[in-house]
Structure 1
Amino acid sequence: MRKLLNLLFENYTLTEDEAYKIMVEISEEKYSPIELASFLTIFNMRNITLDELKGYRRALLDLCIKIDLPKDAIDIVGTGGDGKDTFNISTLSSFVLAGAGEKVIKQGNYGASSVSGSSNMLDNFGYNFTTDQGQLKKEVEEIGITFLHAPLFHPALAKVAPIRKGLAVKTFFNLMGPLVNPVQPNFQNLGTYDVKTARLYHYVMQNSGIEYSISTALDGYDEISLTSPTKVYNNYGEFILESKDFGLNTLSAEDIRGGNSIVDNSRIFLNVLEGNSTQAQKEVVLANSALALQTIYPSKNLIECVAIANESLESKKALNIFTKLIRS
């Protein structure tokens, strides 16, 4: 690792096969915590390359615990690491989609640089993380949604979790999470914190056979924020979306900010599902849910998709799905 670190400090970039090999060795615990911290920090000093991203992704998918779940489902997930401290918008959108009758297989993790990743939220409500295929299949088939806690399925992610938490800044593992759902469902709605990363995702996903949308708000959010225009890449090209395209309001950063603790964010989470949130909190969830629905149904326009998502919330179907999952 010392030789490799010296090369990387001199702006050497890895081939796809070299990146693959390093990820395998990380999962085999061949490097010390100090070596790994140095390695992770390098990718905050320069952008990850397409070959590196492809190599790390291929390794994580090869190494992950395999699970046989229906692929005709969607994952909704962002990189995190945007430093915006929003509430759990993508996780809420997952329940909105399930409430609208779609199958959702969401992968998530504890927050490394925030107080409330999707795993923090579900753990706080008492959901039991598992790799039991029977249980996960039952959830997705009978409830409409299941959750894959990433460290249980990815040995390399588990190995670096304490280091990521100690660094408390985004690392290239933030980039990997959305790309390595073990099921690789047929539909994926991915969010990134900048346009460069969104474009890399686009290159990776183009030949994946998956229907996808990749979004990044131009003011730095890893999802549609309605605080600025959003750049979107999908199977059909790239375009800019504004709040008016959803028939929704333009919001401020304060409108969608989360709380200072998991308790605060849990309260917002339930308020959205129970119909007690602010209009802004509801609308940002509707926007992200709508783009995910359009990923599944490209012929539907976004305003139609907002109406479907709104019905899921207003009817309390999304809340009912959430309650069933927590009790499962």
Structure 2
Amino acid sequence: MKQILNRLFNHQHLSRSESKDILTRMAAGEYNNAQIAAFISVYLMRSISIDEFLGFTDALLDLRMNVDTLSAYNPIDIVGTGGDNKNTFNISTLSCFVVAGAGHKVAKHGNYGATSVSGASNVMEQHGVKFTSDVSKLEKSLDKTNIAYLHAPLFNNALKIVAPVRKDLGVRTFFNMLGPVVNPIMPKRNVLGVFNLKMARMYHYMYQQTDCDFSIVHGLDGYDEISLTGDFKVINKTQEIIYSPEEVGLVRCREEDLNGGDTPEEASKIFDNVINNEATDAQKNAVIANAAVAIQTINNSLSFEEAISQARESIESGNAKRTFSKFLEFNT
């Protein structure tokens, strides 16, 4: 590790195979927390290269627990990289339940917040969800409720080992970038939120090497999701398009309208308000917009406006709430 760090401090890059080897060794417990912190801090000072990104991804996918039987459900995952320092409420997680409420299969891969008050696992835990890696239980949840929740550290030892270091650092690391693409199911449908266009290009390059249906979303004012605080970009297999909130029939909102609160309890309350159709228009519309991208990714014959209508119906009809209630029955 000393040799590797010296190379990185001298602005050298790692090859794909070297990157894979380092993360594999990290997962095996060969490095201490100080070494891990030094290594991941390098990428706060310079961009990760394509080869490094692909090597780290290779390692995490090789190390993942085998849950391949769940891929038969052809679920979608909706996830943001985090690290945009906006402290929004759990928009991606709520969008997953809205999409499930609209009748689609969802496999949400999530973790505790490393750079925000409440990550997906925090809000699930607030509702009493018991995380599991039991494939039969996850299958039952997908079958009966349309959604399964995969708590990342249970499915990958590397993510478990680096979790305390990430939490102690409290800043964005390259693991924010890796998390969304190492769902152990390796779903063929993905919605990914990124906080800058450079990262969008990297993911676009990666997804183009696969047979996945994907949508990459970016709020042009720095959000890793559609915030409706400004214009946003959607990149998929066939096009890149910039929308304004008004173009898709939604109202532009302010940054403070999406604040996730100061504690997991406050974030959980916002979550409940949205799922119960009792949230502010700004909160509800942000979830609807992100859910709509997922619905359109699943059924690309729909217009964005039609997908928005389906997402809104999921919330306002109570289907999203019923889906969440049923999910809690199976997972608490």
**TM-score of the two chains, using structure 2 as the length reference:** 0.97
Name the residue aligned to 2:259.
Answer: 257
Note the C-alpha offset of 1:71.
4.5
CA distance in 2, matches of 1:239, 1:55: 30
CA distance in 2, matches of 1:268, 1:211: 30
Note the C-alpha offset of 1:11.
0.9
The 5-angstrom pairing of residues 119-130 of structure 1 reads 119-130=121-132
Name the residue aligned to 1:66.
Answer: 66
CA deviations on 1:265-300 (whole Å, 9 max, x unpaired) are 111111011111101100000100111111111121
What code does the residue aligned with 1:149 have?
Answer: H
2:155 is aligned with 1:135: no
Please give the root-mean-square deviation of Cα atoms over the aligned residues, in Å: 0.9
Note the C-alpha offset of 1:246.
2.2
Question: Structure 1 stretches of 5 or more lacking a match?
Answer: none
What code does the residue aligned with 1:85 have?
Answer: N
Note the C-alpha offset of 1:231.
2.1
**SS of equivalent to 1:174:** helix
Is residue 73–residue 105 contact of structure 2 (8 Å, CA) maintained in 1? Answer: no
Name the residue aligned to 1:89.
Answer: 91
The 5-angstrom pairing of residues 5-84 of structure 1 reads 5-67=5-67, 68-69=69-70, 70-84=72-86
What code does the residue aligned with 1:191 have?
Answer: G
Matched length:
328
2:135 is aligned with 1:111: no
Is residue 71–residue 183 contact of structure 1 (8 Å, CA) maintained in 2? Answer: no
CA deviations on 1:66-90 (whole Å, 9 max, x unpaired) are 1020241100000111110100000
Note the C-alpha offset of 1:149.
0.3
CA distance in 2, matches of 1:115, 1:245: 32
Q: For 1:176, which of 164, 175, 178 is the aligned residue?
A: 178
Question: Structure 2 stretches of 5 or more lacking a match?
Answer: none
CA distance in 1, matches of 2:214, 2:244: 19
Identity of aligned residues (%): 46
**SS of equivalent to 1:80:** coil
Name the residue aligned to 2:147.
Answer: 145
**SS of equivalent to 2:66:** coil
**SS of equivalent to 2:116:** coil
CA distance in 2, matches of 1:97, 1:183: 18
Note the C-alpha offset of 1:207.
1.5
Name the residue aligned to 1:242.
Answer: 244
CA deviations on 1:222-279 (whole Å, 9 max, x unpaired) are 1011111112221113221221232101111011111111111111111011111101
CA distance in 1, matches of 2:50, 2:320: 37
2:288 is aligned with 1:282: no
Q: Following TM superposition, where does structure 1 have runs of at least 4 consecutive aligned residues deviating by more than 2 angstroms?
A: none
What code does the residue aligned with 2:224 have?
Answer: D
**TM-score of the two chains, using structure 1 as the length reference:** 0.98
